A = this chain, B = another copy of it.
Amino acid sequence: MLKKNRIKDLHVKNLSQLVDPHSILHHKEDLLAYDCDGFTIHRHLPKAVVFPQNTKEVSSIVKYCNENDLPFLARGAGTGLSGGAIPLNNEVVISLVKMKRLLSVDYENRRAVVEPGFINLRLTNSISEKGYYYAPDPSSQYCCTIGGNVAENAGGAHCLKYGVTTNHILGLEVVLPNGDVIELGKQGIPDEPGYDLLGLLTGSEGTLGIVTKITVRILKNPEAKQTVLAYFDRVEDGSQAVSDIISAGIVPAALEMMDKTAIEGVEAAAFPVGHPRDIEALLLIEVDGISAGIKEQILRILDVCKKQNVREVKVAESEEERARWWANRKTGFGAMGAISPDYLVQDGVIPRSKLPQVLKQINKISEESGLLIANIFHAGDGNLHPLVLFDARKPGETEKALDAGSACLQVCAEAGGTITGEHGVGIEKKEEMRFVFNEDEIQAQTNIREVFNPKNLLNAGKLFPSPSRCAEVKKEMKKIEYF
């Protein structure tokens, strides 16, 4: 970081007055680390990156940007998968990583207050000794921030039973795009009177305001947990087992599936656990709750799996074995690096009953595009993650991968589903919003953006299709034969 007197740009100079002198980056070599997030296909340099330490600093930076018509956006750990933190318009990036304190924990009423840069997993680690945890568990939880989770309404494996981020947010302090600060749900009580602005801000992908304080719900650790691993020779049997477990009235804490290609990846990478390479699907199933009844639930799950011709099924015998199975699953996306130079992860949602048909359709897209597609996903809630494997060095292959990813989303939408479950729309899927919304429905949303963000300086060009592109994309939507 360089001294203030070497700053040439007037705006950057002025911004540097608003924060600690070492809390601004503006040289190209420093800015390179901020040209993309977990969606690495688009890269754009920001104008500068500022690191405020408190709400007041955020507010003054935002006020300055607003008054001077400078585009700006907020950034957490930069692990987002849809490009929400990419500075498309040479934005001033407001990095919230220095606002990383756990402000308070109220065990009796089960809530905690954190700053937006606080790491997701750190919350559970901070309260686990007293027997509590924070439920939303994106696979990136060891490094992603809760502020980013709020922006993207992040999910995770255990959201099947416990719900995604929005179900765990009780209050937000928000800096509005004009610099004003409001508190939503300031009493930390669910279902506040008036309009549900808390729900509106959560998952708004950084386009309505910048969150500077978050009150979350914390949960008591379940008394007991049991984890099952089931190997299937046929993906149809695995899918049917998913439906049958839910139909049996069991609500597993997690119900994850991996297909053959995915297994190949995870077994070649950092946490191999010895899954057979010749099966078509595996299920990782966890139940939790009070001890009484857990055993019987496990017996029922084993029974369902057996009825669906499971090849092998086993229950984790120790916490250590369980942790190993989960590490294998949770590092699954990155593991694709072991079998492919590049990958693109998609995030469609479908009604659970359509699982077998949609997986077949994704296979077809894979065959047609000539690209391998691995599937690692939250089967219990129908949240698919097709991982399109490609080699960016080969000319045209990135475009082919993007097309294949988009085709997967179209299949999901046409099966009565949607285009994102937990990764957000960002840049990546904004044109695909047309798969699920018509002109009026997009308009109803951009009208809301205009109320909060009238100059559209905050994170512009995200979440909604470009107006000029709308008609075009609609035309481009090739009719896919679904059944």
- A residues lining the B interface (CB < 8 Å): 106, 108-109, 153, 155, 164, 166-167, 176, 180, 182-184, 186-197, 199-200, 202-204, 208, 220, 222-223, 243, 247, 249-250, 289-297, 349-353, 381-382, 413, 416-422, 424-425, 429, 433, 436-437, 440-442, 444-445, 447-451, 463-464
Bound complex: CA of A23 vs CA of B417, how far in Å? 38
**Can you list 10 A-B contacts with CB-CB less than 8 angstroms, sorted by A residue number?**
A108-B352, A109-B353, A166-B196, A183-B441, A193-B429, A196-B204, A197-B444, A250-B290, A290-B296, A292-B295
CB-CB nearest 7 A-B residue pairs: A293-B293, A292-B296, A199-B199, A292-B293, A109-B351, A108-B353, A196-B199
Q: Are B433 and A193 in contact (CB under 8 A)?
A: yes
Number of copies: 2
Instruction: Write the nearest CB–CB distance from A287 to chain B, whole angstroms.
Output: 10
- From A203, A382, A418, A450, name the one whose CB has the most chain B CB atoms within 10 angstroms: A418
Query: Which of B176, B249, B441 is within 8 Å of A182, CB to CB?
Result: B441
Query: Which of B183, B419, B447 is within 8 Å of A193, CB to CB?
Result: B419
Instruction: Write the nearest CB–CB distance from A166 to chain B, whole angstroms.
Output: 7
Instruction: Write the nearest CB–CB distance from A184 to chain B, whole angstroms.
Output: 8
Instruction: Write the nearest CB–CB distance from A39 to chain B, whole angstroms.
Output: 15
- From A176, A290, A447, name the one whose CB has the most chain B CB atoms within 10 angstroms: A290
Query: Which of B194, B204, B208, B448 is within 8 Å of A451, CB to CB?
Result: B448
Q: Are A187 and B417 in contact (CB under 8 A)?
A: yes
Bound complex: CA of A293 vs CA of B249, how far in Å? 14
Q: Are A203 and B223 in contact (CB under 8 A)?
A: no
Chain B: CB-nearest residue to A159:
B191
Bound complex: CA of A449 vs CA of B448, how far in Å? 10
Query: Which of B180, B192, B200, B425 is within 8 Å of A440, CB to CB?
Result: B180
Residues of B with C-beta under 8 A to A448? 195, 197, 200, 448, 451
Q: Are A194 and B437 in contact (CB under 8 A)?
A: yes
Bound complex: CA of A243 vs CA of B449, how far in Å? 41
Residues of B with C-beta under 8 A to A204? 195-196
Bound complex: CA of A315 vs CA of B349, how far in Å? 43
Q: Are A191 and B292 in contact (CB under 8 A)?
A: no
Residues of B with C-beta under 8 A to A445? 194-195, 197
Chain B: CB-nearest residue to A194:
B445
Q: Are B292 and A418 in contact (CB under 8 A)?
A: no
Instruction: Write the nearest CB–CB distance from A310 to chain B, whole angstroms.
Output: 21
Residues of B with C-beta under 8 A to A188? 351, 416
Given the known A-B contacts A296-B290, A418-B192, are A440 and B182 also in contact in the complex, defined by CB atoms under 8 Å?
Answer: yes
Residues of B with C-beta under 8 A to A243? 108
Instruction: Write the nearest CB–CB distance from A241 to chain B, whole angstroms.
Output: 15
Residues of B with C-beta under 8 A to A421? 191
Residues of B with C-beta under 8 A to A463? 194
Residues of B with C-beta under 8 A to A381? 190
Chain B: CB-nearest residue to A299:
B292
Bound complex: CA of A351 vs CA of B208, how far in Å? 29
Q: Are A202 and B192 in contact (CB under 8 A)?
A: no
Residues of B with C-beta under 8 A to A155? 191
Given the known A-B contacts A182-B441, A292-B296, A295-B292, are A416 and B187 also in contact in the complex, defined by CB atoms under 8 Å?
Answer: yes
Q: Are A196 and B203 in contact (CB under 8 A)?
A: yes
Bound complex: CA of A291 vs CA of B421, how far in Å? 32
Residues of B with C-beta under 8 A to A191? 153, 155, 164, 166, 203, 349, 421-422
Bound complex: CA of A447 vs CA of B416, how far in Å? 33
Chain B: CB-nearest residue to A220:
B249
Bound complex: CA of A19 vs CA of B101, how far in Å? 60
Instruction: Write the nearest CB–CB distance from A79 to chain B, whole angstroms.
Output: 19
Chain B: CB-nearest residue to A447:
B451
Bound complex: CA of A250 vs CA of B203, how far in Å? 30
Instruction: Write the nearest CB–CB distance from A135 to chain B, whole angstroms.
Output: 13
Instruction: Write the nearest CB–CB distance from A292 to chain B, whole angstroms.
Output: 3
Bound complex: CA of A359 vs CA of B418, how far in Å? 47
Bound complex: CA of A189 vs CA of B353, how far in Å? 12
Q: Are B194 and A425 in contact (CB under 8 A)?
A: yes
Q: Are A194 and B464 in contact (CB under 8 A)?
A: yes
Bound complex: CA of A184 vs CA of B441, how far in Å? 8
Residues of B with C-beta under 8 A to A189? 349-351, 382, 416-418
Bound complex: CA of A382 vs CA of B108, how far in Å? 13
- From A155, A199, A250, A291, name the one whose CB has the most chain B CB atoms within 10 angstroms: A199
Residues of B with C-beta under 8 A to A424? 193
Instruction: Write the nearest CB–CB distance from A378 to chain B, whole angstroms.
Output: 12
